[in-house]
Amino acid sequence: MDIAKHLAVIDELCAREFPTGHGRVDVGTGGPGYFIAELATSGDFYEADLDVLEETEAQFDADRDALGERLGERCAPVGPISLFSAFQRSEEGEAISEPWRTLASHVPDLHLWKSTQTGRWIALGVSQWDRDLPFQLLAVVTDVDLP
């Protein structure tokens, strides 16, 4: 993992204007008020045994934590948050704002900071849509308040 490169992506997203519509951007996805950058993606696990899956998950968690330590030196930490209640409320029909609605469906928790320079939320999380699919290290930059 290249921490300096990932921090540069986050810095650039903090300074960039948000897209006017939802869709793909050069680093992942974005929309009004948010970016979700795909910093790293593992291979898939269709043929993998449980040990490989667990090792990969542990490595992605360690990478998130290492990047988070460096990010914490520059931003005000808010702490880890669970997106479980946002997921439940979304499933029950409540309108949850993006990017939180999408993240709640595949990222169980986020490590969260508030940029002291831009006022934007910055979050790091590890995503996995399904047991057989890849893990992703995600960085979220948004001005949309938490649900």
Q: What is the dihedral angle through the alpha carbons of 137, 142, 144, 145, rounded to the nearest 10 degrees?
A: 70
Contacts of 55 (CB under 8 A, 6+ apart): none
| Residue 124 near residue 64, CB atoms below 8 Å | yes
Q: Per-residue confidence of the chain (147 residues) as pLDDT tens digits? A: 799 999 999 999 999 999 999 999 999 999 999 999 999 999 877 776 778 778 989 999 999 999 999 998 888 888 899 999 998 999 999 999 999 999 999 998 999 999 988 999 999 999 987 777 889 999 999 999 988
What's the confidence (pLDDT) of residue 93?
Answer: 92
What's the confidence (pLDDT) of residue 142?
Answer: 97
Q: Model pTM?
A: 0.92
Burial 52-65 (b: 16+ CB within 10 A, else e): ebeebeebbeebbe
Q: How far apart are CA 103 and CA 83, in angstroms?
A: 8
Q: 79 in the Ramachandran plot: left (φ > 0), alpha (ψ -120 to 50) or beta? A: left
What's the confidence (pLDDT) of residue 17?
Answer: 96
What's the confidence (pLDDT) of residue 16?
Answer: 95
